[in-house]
Amino acid sequence: MITTITLNPAVDVRYNLDYFALDQSHRCADYQKTAGGKGLNVSRVLKILGHEIQATGFLGGGSGEFIAGELKKLDIDNRFVQIDQETRTCIAILSEGPVQTEILEAGPEIGQKYAAEFMERYVHLLKDATVICASGSLPRGLPEDYYCLLIRKAHEKKIKFILDTSGAALKKAIAHRPFLIKPNRAELEDLCGKACAGEKELVEQALALHQAGAENVVVSLGAEGAIYLNAQGAYKASVPEISCRNPVGSGDAMIAGFAHAVTNKMSLEDSLRFACACGIANAMEAETGKINCAVMDELRRQIRVVAIY
């Protein structure tokens, strides 16, 4: 059983427009509303890959009810803590280019009562978990070291903890030895406090994060592929050019790919190839957190992985 954690979920609303400009009214006939938040995107892809999922975090209000309904449709075990505030809404506007504009609500503030209730539930869920995937920002009210607490609990049960977050929450968590982290270039530069001009600098900074505690460091580079570094060395994945329909959730699909790879004991090279194929397959779909497995398998054959360090 894979456990996904989405502490700050959202109802994601996406508007697809041919043209978008500020200070104008736009009528949109092409739009989608989905259960969002990075961990829920991970959950959907893992379900497509055939895994049993237990999903947890915080849900509240009408938006929370919508997400709970979507989880039921997908046959994902809903283990969220119910709170007395409204789950946030996040809006993405896709227009020609493609250009993507996002409006992200901050979301509810989690008090000590709900934080304690979540921790109790999390410890219970660890009994059935083989891999933990924790994704996204921390909601207001939780301390910056909250992921550190979750990692420690997972270590006590010898469960691998995959973490996809950013900023102070990620910086604090690295020393607690997460199994895998996946910063993109901008997040890596923010963590290290310096720009990475080329591949050499990217590898150096990924190595610094590995030495600081992260067992596996994946740097996602979008159309340029990804770099994967651990104690065995560093590898670069080069990916095929595609027609991108919707990039939202591609990093989450990569996380799902890595969780699948861990569960199936894939080699480092095959893990990177599989995860990148999941990310690209997501970008080829209109719906967030969705992949076509046949397309993904074909992409795997086109992805080149080479040792670079």
Is there a contact between 144 and 121 (Cβ–Cβ < 8 Å)?
Answer: no
Residue 267 buriedness (CB in 10 A; 0-12 / 13-18 / 19+): exposed
DSSP alpha helix (H) spans, the chain: 38-48, 61-73, 112-125, 146-156, 167-174, 185-192, 199-212, 250-263, 268-283, 293-302
Catalytic one among 30, 75, 84, 252? Answer: 252
* Percent helix, strand and coil across the chain, each to the nearest 5: 40, 25, 35
Rounded to whole angstroms, how far apart are CA atoms 41 and 91?
Answer: 15
Rounded to whole angstroms, how far apart are CA atoms 189 and 206?
Answer: 10
Rounded to whole angstroms, how far apart are CA atoms 39 and 6?
Answer: 5
> Which residues are 104's β-sheet partners?
90
Task: Verify whether residue 252 is a known catalytic residue.
Answer: yes
Supply the residues annotated as catalytic.
Answer: 252
